[in-house]
Amino acid sequence: MTKAPKKQQVYTLLVEVGRKEGDGLPDGATGAALMCYSSGVDEAEAVRETVAILKQADLAPLDVSGYGTLEERLAEGHDIDEEEQELMQRALDENSVIIAQMTPFFDKE
């Protein structure tokens, strides 16, 4: 008996990256936080795909925090605007990773 393939879903991930030569982060930044939408049959697959894509882009992923699917986030009371939902749909349609926001980190001196 064959199992039906699992349905792709989009997961919201927050990825912290460190510095690496050629990473494209601003001068003086010590790293960055990336808000990503990634498709996968489960969150583990979405994380693996996101980390692989970021490494290909010469970024250095350090930590990934998962915030769940659109449905899970809505159930938790997250306010998700139309633009964010469109980016999630694009990640699903393209079976891809969308980096929605990048916030560089700087040391305070």
Q: How confident is the model at residue 108 (pLDDT cuts 50, 70, 90)?
A: confident
Average pLDDT, whole number, for the chain?
93
Residue 86's pLDDT is 96
* Residue 2 maps to a domain: no
Residue 6's pLDDT is 76
38 pLDDT higher than 90: yes
For the residues 53-63, what does the mean pLDDT come to?
95
* Residue 4 maps to a domain: no
Identify the weakest region by mean pLDDT among 1-5, 16-20, 38-42: 1-5
Domain of 89 in residue numbering reads as 9-106
CA distances from 83 to 49, 50, 100 (A): 23, 21, 10
* Pairing of the two strands 9-18 and 29-40: antiparallel
As for how many domains the chain has, the answer is: 1
* Residue 3 maps to a domain: no
